[in-house]
Amino acid sequence: MNIYYVRQFWFDDFVEKDGNWQRAKITWTDFDQQNIKVTAQVNIVSPGAHIEVNDSVTGDLGTAAVGISWYEYIDGNGTLQHIDNQYFVPHATIRNCVAIQLELAYRRIWVGATGNIF
């Protein structure tokens, strides 16, 4: 695969303090059937915590995930295919790509994520 460009992306400084899931998304629809490679990774993380102490200790910690939520490509028959991922896919090779969406999900955390599309 020849690399003709590198497209960088990032999710900068997202904060959630109350334990409610938040989502940030980036969507690109301008690939025009290019073959691409995608990587995404959390690059900064500072989890919070909610702890209750009664008769026992309960609570939760902050969490975050980043990855490909869906992508579209043109198959060998010329038909548009839409693929919804059921989990956060951190990297992929997609042939004849026409669109892709990356997602950062986070709760009770300060987080950032970066990645590249080649």
Q: At which residue do the structure tokens 């951190």 appear?
A: 90
For Cα atoms 70, 71, 73, give the angle at the middle one, nearest 5 degrees.
Answer: 155
pLDDT digits (tens, 9 = 90+) for 34-49: 999 999 999 989 988 8
Domain that residue 25 falls in: 7-117
Please indicate, yes or no, if residue 1 is contained in any of the structural domains: no
pTM for the structure as a whole: 0.87
pLDDT digits (tens, 9 = 90+) for 75-89: 999 999 999 999 999
Distance of CA 33 to the CA centre of its chain: 21
Work out how many domains the chain is built from and give that number: 1
